[in-house]
Chains A and B, each alone.
Chain A
Amino acid sequence: MTANKRTTKIGRTIGLASAAFTLALAVGAVTARPAEPKPTVAYIAPSLDISYWQWVAYGVEKKAAELGMNYVGYTSENSPDMQMNNVRTAVTRGVKAIVIGPVSSTSTPPVLRFLAQHHIPVAFAGIGPQPGLTDYTSSVTANNLETGRAEGQFVCELAKARGGNKIGMLSLPLDRENAQKYLKGARETIKAGGCDLVEIIQTHGLTVREAVTQANDLLTAHPDIKAIYGMYDEAGTGAAKALQTRGLVGKVGVAVADGSPTTIKLLHEGAIQGIFLQEAVGQGIDATQQVWNALNGKTVTKDLPLTEPLVTSKTIDEPKIQVTLKRVYPPSAGAY
């Protein structure tokens, strides 16, 4: 009998405690969120395991602070499902604007539909929406096609200056739209320049380690390659390392897209001949500006295709280039 009484007493205490706790939570939830004086902008990255998207985040956060907005970041880990989840969560949380780097252009329609329903301005940074859609504020992307053309031409010239016309390419996964655009542009100008793109090897993990191995294999299979086209930053680092091991630095030209402290350093040293800078930070800044404009009734620019300016060892120290570099990566990443 005593045991029963004791259990009932304990049970009752637990019950009361739970009720009080739940009540406190409810009250807290209702009252703890004050009317936010500052609007919040959410940045949804496709993944945060590569520096590029982290640098975009830096840009968004910096600009948001300047414009008097709060910032919150999400990552979609390359999954369209998670991306949609993040969008919903952000809206539930009460963000006023979204800057998004989508997992892929094809995953954007449901995102845009949802955000249109909730009247939330959204800007793209880095990767644009599916062609044909219009229900968004702004799209700040690099012009991959143009860059492809420019880099292809540059690489062909590098090869010809070294007495050959064979080019090898270290490419992004070709299921991505930006990669396909790069390749399309590059093929045009390479062919037009009289050069031959002998082999393309795609990366799987976007690591330097992999790029080194792939660059080595390119050079083994085609010893007469005179220039390497790197579609992503790590490709440049990897190619430089492979050339170094083979004693071919300078004898085989390397061009790369994106830009990072590592490749800038290699540019200084002459292992890489040219970098087509993708303004990661700049994309974040510009996209944030656009959504802020939308929130405050200012004019918005629907499409902002940023060029990827070329920097070579000759132009690296020009002030114009230095300004651009600051829009590529944050100071915390490394030297310029």
Chain B
Amino acid sequence: MAEPLHSSGTYQGALSVPASRPSMIGRLISDYRTELAIALAILVLEGVVSALVPNALTRGNLADIGQAASPLIIMAIGQLLVVITGGIDLSVGSVFSLTGMITALAMVHGFGAVPSTALGLGIGFLTGLVNGLLVTVAGLAPFVVTLITYAAGGSLAFIVTNGQSLPVPDQSYVLLNSGALVPGVVNYALFCVVLLVACELFLRRAVAGRWLYAVGSNANASRLLGVPVRRTVLAAYLGSGLLASFASVLSLSYISNAEATAGSNLMLQAIAAVVIGGASLFGGTGSAIGAVLGAVMITAIQNGVNLIGVNSFWQGSVTAVVILIAVLVDRIGKGRR
């Protein structure tokens, strides 16, 4: 065996304390730059709206925004999981619609609130399972797979009741959304906050959360490293499906009415929320806070436009401009790559 050579330089063996790191606050700010930019944009937006309509900043209106945003927030969190892995879930809107119809249908046929809700959540689980298996085992592209479930689910939502909308017969069902499990905190807000915190912690602190980023960053390298890629991706789609159906039962509880088209716009909005919040559709980045802020921003724009009374035909342009500005400011902040 050759003798270890005399090595030049200052090799001293392992260091146990690394050199100075930026402070905790500094690190948080740099990690969450995009999210801060979006939060700032929302504040500016609300400032502008409230200048024109003073009631914009009342507790009532903010609660309205929260209520209106809650399904989107939950769905955006679900979509985020999939987007981080580099995939996409187009089926969430159909899951939303179908879950509402099935849950209401079950209740109309005499099933209790709890079994009906479980059935509805089962729709999300099943769709997520189908999506995940087709992507991981069959190796099909996520866009195609979720396009299929989007079409199938959307169609099923009409088939189950021949397109008729269904009222929720149980008056007390509204408590799911509007009750207060924690005194003083309305349920929909509670669920949103809990899900947000849980998801962000999961993504940053659970190994499985890091696996999501690993797979999205370089799936092949992850596989070679021993990351269970298939299981991770499957879990992401399951999460997205389940959260979409949870959003649906929550909304159903509030509106007390199931419609076959209920989720139609939500798919695109969920994806937009995630991307506005800083995730890349190529995978590997994104945060729950960002996704939630993106959802809030989209809802706040809608609310602002309604309050001000902008002509409907202009709404799309207004939305586009606001989002463009927010995203550009963030990009400029990051510097040219």
**A and B touching (Cβ–Cβ under 8 A):** yes
**Pairwise interchain contact A221-B165, C-beta atoms closer than 8 A:** no
Task: For residue B164, give the distance in angstroms from its CB to the closest CB of chain A.
Answer: 6
**Pairwise interchain contact B312-A218, C-beta atoms closer than 8 A:** no
- Given A217-B307, A221-B309, A262-B167, A207:B259 Cβ within 8 A: yes
- Given A49-B158, A204-B265, A220-B61, A213:B260 Cβ within 8 A: no
Choose among B55, B71, B164 the residue that contacts A220 (Cβ–Cβ < 8 A).
Answer: B55
Q: A54 — nearest CB in chain B belongs to which residue?
A: B163
What mask results when residues 120 to 137 of chain A are scored 1 for a CB within 8 Å of chain B, else 0?
000000000000000000
Residues A180-210 near B (CB distance < 8 A): 199-202, 204-209
Q: Does A149 contact B (CB under 8 A)?
A: no
Q: Does B16 contact A (CB under 8 A)?
A: no
**Pairwise interchain contact A221-B163, C-beta atoms closer than 8 A:** no
Query: Which residues does chain A contribute within 8 Å of B163, judged by CB atoms?
Result: 48-51, 54
Q: How far is the CA of A218 from the CA of B53 in the complex (A)?
A: 11
Residue among A201, A220, A223, A265 having the largest count of chain B Cβ atoms under 10 Å: A220
Query: Which residues does chain A contribute within 8 Å of B71, judged by CB atoms?
Result: 209
Q: B69 — nearest CB in chain A belongs to which residue?
A: A213
Query: Which residues does chain A contribute within 8 Å of B251, judged by CB atoms?
Result: 209
- Given A51-B163, A54-B164, A205-B265, A217:B306 Cβ within 8 A: yes
**Pairwise interchain contact A199-B68, C-beta atoms closer than 8 A:** no
Query: Which residues does chain A contribute within 8 Å of B255, judged by CB atoms?
Result: 208-209, 212, 241
Q: Does B12 contact A (CB under 8 A)?
A: no
Task: For residue B148, give the distance in angstroms from its CB to the closest CB of chain A.
Answer: 19
Q: How far is the CA of A220 from the CA of B303 in the complex (A)?
A: 10
Query: Which residues does chain B contribute within 8 Å of A262, judged by CB atoms?
Result: 165, 167, 257
Q: How far is the CA of A241 from the CA of B168 in the complex (A)?
A: 13
**Pairwise interchain contact A51-B167, C-beta atoms closer than 8 A:** no
Query: Which residues does chain A contribute within 8 Å of B260, judged by CB atoms?
Result: 49
What mask results when residues 244 to 276 of chain A are scored 1 for a CB within 8 Å of chain B, else 0?
011000000000000011100100000000000
**Pairwise interchain contact A221-B53, C-beta atoms closer than 8 A:** yes
**Majority secondary structure of chain B interface residues (helix, strand, loop or mixed):** helix
Q: How far is the CA of A245 from the CA of B255 in the complex (A)?
A: 10
**Pairwise interchain contact B262-A216, C-beta atoms closer than 8 A:** no
Q: Does A214 contact B (CB under 8 A)?
A: yes
Choose among A51, A209, A220, A261 the residue that contacts B307 (Cβ–Cβ < 8 A).
Answer: A220
**Majority secondary structure of chain A interface residues (helix, strand, loop or mixed):** helix
Query: Which residues does chain A contribute within 8 Å of B55, judged by CB atoms?
Result: 220-221, 223
Q: Does A80 contact B (CB under 8 A)?
A: no
Q: Does A237 contact B (CB under 8 A)?
A: yes
Q: Does A164 contact B (CB under 8 A)?
A: no
Q: A168 — nearest CB in chain B belongs to which residue?
A: B309
Query: Which residues does chain A contribute within 8 Å of B61, judged by CB atoms?
Result: 217, 220
What mask results when residues 267 to 300 of chain A are scored 1 for a CB within 8 Å of chain B, else 0?
0000000000000000000000000000000000
Task: For residue B312, give the distance in angstroms from its CB to the closest CB of chain A.
Answer: 4
Q: How far is the CA of A224 from the CA of B124 in the complex (A)?
A: 42
Task: For residue A16, give the distance in angstroms from its CB to the closest CB of chain B.
Answer: 36
Query: Which residues does chain A contribute within 8 Å of B306, judged by CB atoms?
Result: 201, 213-214, 217-218, 221
Residues B227-280 near A (CB distance < 8 A): 251, 254-257, 259-262, 264-265
Top 10 A-B pairs, shortest CB-CB distance: A217-B306, A202-B312, A221-B307, A213-B68, A220-B61, A216-B64, A199-B309, A208-B257, A220-B55, A207-B259
In the complex, besides A213-B306, A220-B56, A334-B164, 13 extra interface pairs with C-beta distance below 8 angstroms are A48-B163, A49-B260, A54-B163, A174-B312, A205-B265, A207-B259, A207-B261, A208-B259, A212-B68, A221-B55, A260-B165, A262-B167, A265-B167
Sample 13 A-B pairs with CB under 8 A, ordered by A number.
A48-B163, A50-B163, A51-B164, A174-B312, A204-B265, A205-B261, A206-B261, A208-B259, A209-B255, A214-B306, A223-B55, A333-B164, A334-B164
Name A's B-contacting residues (CB within 8 A).
48-51, 54, 173-174, 199-202, 204-209, 212-214, 216-218, 220-221, 223, 234, 237, 241, 245-246, 260-262, 265, 332-334
